[in-house]
Amino acid sequence: MIPEFVQIVIVALMIVIPVGVIYNKAGFHPAWALLVFLPGFGLLLIFLQLALMPWSAHKDQAEKAPWKSL
């Protein structure tokens, strides 16, 4: 059997790595993914931040869009 602590670490990594990748693709620092571990409202904070803050990566793509020059 795997010790309980190792199971907790594995589950934590399964949560924090995908959220970190999402933050990185959105142009934010991946360390913000640690908000998910705040009890009660951590996931809500992540959703609000990703929904309401402007994404710098999205702005960069919009500036490079070829159809904007038409």
Question: Tens digit of pLDDT for each residue in 3-61?
Answer: 999 999 999 999 999 999 988 988 888 888 898 888 889 888 888 888 888 877 666 56
Q: Is residue 60 part of a domain?
A: yes
Q: Is residue 70 part of a domain?
A: no
Q: Is residue 33 part of a domain?
A: yes
Q: Is residue 69 part of a domain?
A: no
Q: Is residue 35 part of a domain?
A: yes
Give the DSSP letter string of the chain.
Answer: ---HHHHHHHHHHHHHHHHHHHHHHHTS-GGGGGGGGSTTTHHHHHHHHHHHSPPHHHHHHHHT-GGGG-
In the prediction, which pLDDT does 7 show? 94
Backbone angles phi, psi at 31, to 5 degrees: -65, -20
Distance between CA atoms of 29 and 37, rounded to whole angstroms? 16
Length of the chain equals: 70
Q: Which domain holds residue 45?
A: 4-64
Q: Is residue 40 part of a domain?
A: yes
**DSSP state, residue 3:** -
Q: Is residue 8 part of a domain?
A: yes
Structural domain total, the chain? 1
